[in-house]
C-alpha cells in the first residue's frame, strides 16, 4: 500500500506536542539507576514514559509498521526496509536533567531505510522542525504559545533565503559532542580531532571559528539544517538521534556523510555522521577537509 506521508507527519506533530507537555511538566530528577553504561549515560522516568506514550499511539494507528525506540531497543534489533518509526523520547537527556533548555523529542520515520519524515520538537523553546521527503523542511515557532492564532510562525529551512557558499573549515562554526563513552578509542579520536579543529594549521588541521555542543544530536542537525551551524560531526550516537533530523537536513539542502573518512552514503544506523548545511558550493570539499583532519584513524 502507498504510504500516506502527510498523515504520518500530522500524527507525529500531534504526538510531539503531547510529549512536549509531558517533558515540560515532568520531574527530571526521577533518574533510573542501573542498565546504562556509566554515570553520564542517564535515563529518566520521563524518557520511559514518553516512549510508552509514543509507541502506544503509533502502534495503534499504524500496526503494520516497525518501531525502534531508544528505551526499548535491545542489541540485535535490526532496521529493515519495512516502514519504521525511529524514536528518541528525549534527545538531550543530560540537558533535561540539568534544566538546560536544549532537549527535544525526535520522531523519525524511515521507508526502505531512507529517512522519509522527520519531526523534532524542543518544548522549552516551542520550536518544531519538520520535513517530509520531497516537500521541504520547516521550522514552526510558538504554536504551543499561541503565536499566529495557535499556528505558530512558520519559516522554510534554511532560515536565510539564499544560503551562502561554504568556505574552508577555518571559516566554519562546527558542532561536536563528547558523547557518553569517555574512555574508549573513539573518545581518543574525538578529543584529538577537537584539538586539531581548534588550533590546527594547514593540511590535516584547521582553526575553525569555534566549536559548539548543543547536547542533542537532533538539535545539532536541525541547527545545521537551519544554516546556523555549518557542520556537525559525531561518532557514537544512534539511529533514533539522527533519523528525524536527517530528513529535515536533506530537505533543507544539506548532506549527510559518514563521520569516518570515505563514506559518502552512510546508513541510518552506522553511528558515525557528518552533517553539512545546504550551500550552492563547497559541501563535498568541506567533508573531505574534515576527513583529512581525521587522517587514517576510524571510529568503531
Tell whether 88 is in a known binding site. yes
Element (H, E) at 86: strand 84-91
Least spacing, CB of residue 83 vs ligand IPD, in Å:
23
Nearer to ligand IPD, 132 or 224 (CB): 224
DSSP 266: -
Applying CB under 6 A, which part among 89-97, 118-126, 201-209, 256-264 lies near ligand IPD? 89-97
**How far is 19 from 54, CA to CA, in rounded Å?**
8
Query: Is 86 annotated as catalytic?
Result: no
Count the residues of the shown chain that bind ligand IPD, applying the rule CB under 6 A: 16
251: nearest Cα among 224, 274, 270: 224
278: nearest Cα among 240, 242, 224: 224
Q: Return the biggest CA–CA distance within the chain.
A: 55
Single out the catalytic residue among 23, 42, 86, 90: 90
Tell whether 81 is in a known binding site. no
Tell whether 248 is in a known binding site. no
**How far is 211 from 234, CA to CA, in rounded Å?**
12
Query: Is 126 annotated as catalytic?
Result: no
Least spacing, CB of residue 47 vs ligand IPD, in Å:
7
Cell 533543507 sits on residue: 252
Tell me whether the omega of the peptide bond preceding residue 158 falls within 30 degrees of 0, making it cis: yes
169: nearest Cα among 208, 213, 200, 199: 208
Contact code string over 178-197 relative to ligand IPD, x by CB under 6 A: -xx-----------------
Single out the catalytic residue among 91, 102, 126, 234: 91
Least spacing, CB of residue 4 vs ligand IPD, in Å:
28
Tell whether 90 is in a known binding site. yes
Tell whether 70 is in a known binding site. yes
Element (H, E) at 68: strand 66-69
Query: Is 94 annotated as catalytic?
Result: no
Kindly give the interhelix angle for 239-251 and 217-226, rounded to the nearest 10 degrees. Answer: 10
With binding defined as CB under 6 A, does residue 251 bind ligand IPD? no
With binding defined as CB under 6 A, does residue 126 bind ligand IPD? no
| 251 three-state secondary structure | helix
**How far is 229 from 38, CA to CA, in rounded Å?**
30
Interactions with ligand IPD, residue window 201-240 (CB under 6 A): 215-217, 234, 236-237
**How far is 213 from 219, CA to CA, in rounded Å?**
10
How many Cα atoms are found within 13 Å in the side-chain-facing hemisphere of 101? 6
With binding defined as CB under 6 A, does residue 122 bind ligand IPD? no
**How far is 32 from 9, CA to CA, in rounded Å?**
31
With binding defined as CB under 6 A, does residue 177 bind ligand IPD? yes
Least spacing, CB of residue 45 vs ligand IPD, in Å:
14
Single out the catalytic residue among 241, 248, 255, 289: 241
User: What are the beta bridge partners of residue 257?
Assistant: 274
Applying CB under 6 A, which part among 53-61, 146-154, 172-180, 291-299 lies near ligand IPD? 172-180
Query: Is 90 annotated as catalytic?
Result: yes
Interactions with ligand IPD, residue window 55-84 (CB under 6 A): 70
Least spacing, CB of residue 240 vs ligand IPD, in Å:
7
State the catalytic residues: 70, 88, 90-91, 93, 241
Instruction: Point out which residues bind ligand IPD (CB under 6 A).
Output: 70, 88, 90-93, 177, 179-180, 215-217, 234, 236-237, 241
Question: Which residues line the annotated binding site for Mg(2+)?
Answer: 70, 88, 90-91, 241
Amino acid at each position: 500500500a502507498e504510504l500516506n506521508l502527510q498523515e504520518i507527519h500530522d500524527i507525529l506533530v500531534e504526538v510531539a506536542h503531547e510529549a512536549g507537555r509531558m517533558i515540560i511538566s515532568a520531574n527530571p530528577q526521577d533518574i533510573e539507576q542501573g542498565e546504562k553504561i556509566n554515570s553520564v549515560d542517564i535515563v529518566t522516568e520521563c524518557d520511559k514514559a514518553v516512549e510508552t506514550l509514543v509507541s502506544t499511539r503509533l502502534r495503534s494507528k499504524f500496526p503494520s509498521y516497525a518501531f525502534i525506540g531508544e528505551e526499548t531497543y535491545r542489541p540485535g534489533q535490526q532496521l529493515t526496509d519495512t516502514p519504521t518509526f525511529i524514536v528518541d523520547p528525549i534527545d538531550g537527556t543530560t540537558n533535561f536533567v540539568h534544566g538546560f533548555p536544549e532537549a527535544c523529542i525526535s520522531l523519525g520515520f524511515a521507508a526502505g531505510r531512507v529517512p522519509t519524515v522527520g519531526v523534532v520538537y524542543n518544548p522549552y523553546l516551542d520550536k518544531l522542525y519538520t520535513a517530509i521527503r520531497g516537500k521541504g523542511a520547516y521550522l514552526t515557532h510558538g504554536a504551543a504559545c499561541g503565536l499566529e492564532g495557535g499556528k505558530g510562525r512558520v519559516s522554510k529551512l534554511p532560515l536565510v533565503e539564499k544560503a551562502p557558499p561554504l568556505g574552508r573549515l577555518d571559516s566554519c562554526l562546527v558542532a561536536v559532542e563528547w558523547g557518553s563513552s569517555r574512555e574508549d578509542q573513539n573518545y581518543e579520536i574525538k578529543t584529538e580531532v577537537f584539538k586539531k579543529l581548534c588550533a590546527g594549521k594547514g593540511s590535516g588541521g584547521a582553526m575553525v571559528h569555534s566549536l559548539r555542543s548543543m547536547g542533542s544530536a537532533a538539535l545539532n542537525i536541525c541547527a545545521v539544517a537551519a544554516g546556523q551551524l555549518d557542520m556537525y560531526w559525531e561518532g557514537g550516537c544512534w539511529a533514533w538521534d539522527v533519523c528525524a533530523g536527517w530528513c529535515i537536513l536533506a530537505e533543507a539542502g544539506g548532506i549527510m556523510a559518514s563521520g569516518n573518512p570515505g563514506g559518502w552514503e552512510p546508513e541510518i544506523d552506522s553511528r558515525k555522521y557528518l552533517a553539512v548545511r545546504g550551500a550552492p558550493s563547497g559541501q563535498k570539499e568541506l567533508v573531505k577537509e574534515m576527513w583529512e583532519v581525521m587522517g587514517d584513524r576510524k571510529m568503531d
